[in-house]
Amino acid sequence: MSIKENIKKIKDDIQKYSPYPEKVKLIAVTKYVDNSTIEKVLDGGSEYLGENKVQVLTEKENYFKDRKVKWHFIGNLQKNKVKYIASFIDMIHSINKLSLAKEIDKRAKENNRVIDVLLEINVAQEESKEGYILEELYKDIPQLLELKNINIVGLMTMAPFTEDESILRSTFKKLNSLKEDFNKEYFNGTLVHLSMGMSNDYKIALEEGATFIRVGSKIFENLSEGI
């Protein structure tokens, strides 16, 4: 297999499993690989790339300046590092507290931009997980809505680490229904994205309405020698 064939297989799955494949984008998670491999991902037809470390991301962004890459930040983002990505980042998937949202808003403004962001939700309400717990989020929503240089366009979650399909499916269903509720109560229909699903669970996430799937390992598995 080649990277290009792996990407093709995932894009075929988008057509097969999503109720609205035309709305879905593959975020190729390139955190595991170097620039020469990223080159193959871009040539393989994926222009949306996901990274979870600011330092690595800025180096890669600089290297690929001349290519049309849409960089998505998918990891835990430290406030003091927002300034390094604010000028170019296409979307930040992982807002998990008000202070982070305020910092992104401030740095976006300095760059004369409005940055698209997602609210990361800890759906399972697990202690160890990143992401907003709902109680906290409900408290912050009024202030989040006042930030003019961030555009909150959807929700993101990481499913629990399990192979139990029913747990995965109910996590994704829950995120989808939260999006509906928030749209009715606060966002007036402006939440349009659901970022959910990784290599092991993206098919289920697609069935449950994902618009971004974040896939890493599956793009880089079973590669033939020399490819």
30 binds ligand PLP (CB under 6 A): no
Query: Any idea what DSSP says for residue 128?
Result: T
Give me the least distance between CB of 221 and ligand PLP, in Å please: 9
* Interface segment toward ligand PLP; rule CB under 6 A; list 111-119, 139-147, 168-176, 208-216: 208-216
Pair of tokens at residue 82? 């927002």
Nearest CA to 118 among 138, 142, 94, 99?
Answer: 94
CA–CA separation, 72 vs 227, rounded Å?
25
Residue closest to ligand PLP when measured from CB atoms: 216
Where does this chain touch ligand PLP (CB under 6 A) — which range of 59-67, 166-174, 177-185, 211-219? 211-219
DSSP state of 212: E
Query: Is 53 a binder of ligand PLP (CB under 6 A)?
Result: no
Rounded to the nearest whole angstrom, what is the least distance from the CB of residue 110 to ligand PLP in the complex?
26
Q: Which stretch binds ligand PLP (CB under 6 A): 38-46, 106-114, 178-186, 215-223?
A: 215-223
For ligand PLP, the binding residue among 29, 33, 41, 117 (CB under 6 A) is 29
7 in contact with ligand PLP (CB under 6 A) = no
Contact 27, 213 (CB under 8 A): yes
Nearer to ligand PLP, 58 or 200 (CB): 200
Single out the residue of 15, 55, 217, 227 in contact with ligand PLP (rule: CB under 6 A): 217
Residues with Cβ < 8 Å from 64, sequence gap 6 or more?
Answer: 35, 38, 42
Site for ligand PLP in 61-100 (CB under 6 A): 74-75
- Could you give the CA distance from residue 31 to residue 1 in angstroms, rounded to a whole number? 20
The burial of 163, by beta-carbon neighbours within 10 Å (0-12 exposed, 13-18 middle, 19 or more buried), is given as: exposed
User: Is the Cβ of residue 27 or residue 191 nearer to ligand PLP in the bound state?
Assistant: 27
Q: Which is nearer to ligand PLP, 49 or 198 (CB)?
A: 198
- 28 φ, ψ to 5°? -80, 115
Tokens (6 digits) for 184 = 């009715």
SS3 87: coil
Q: Of 52 and 122, which CB lies nearer to ligand PLP in the complex structure? A: 52
Task: Judge whether 211 and 195 are in contact, CB under 8 Å.
Answer: yes
What distance in Å separates the CA atoms of residue 203 and residue 200, rounded to the nearest whole number?
A: 8
Point out which span in 9-17, 143-151, 171-179, 213-221 binds ligand PLP (CB under 6 A). Answer: 213-221
Contacts with ligand PLP, residue ranges (CB under 6 A) = 29, 31, 52, 74-75, 158, 198-199, 214-218
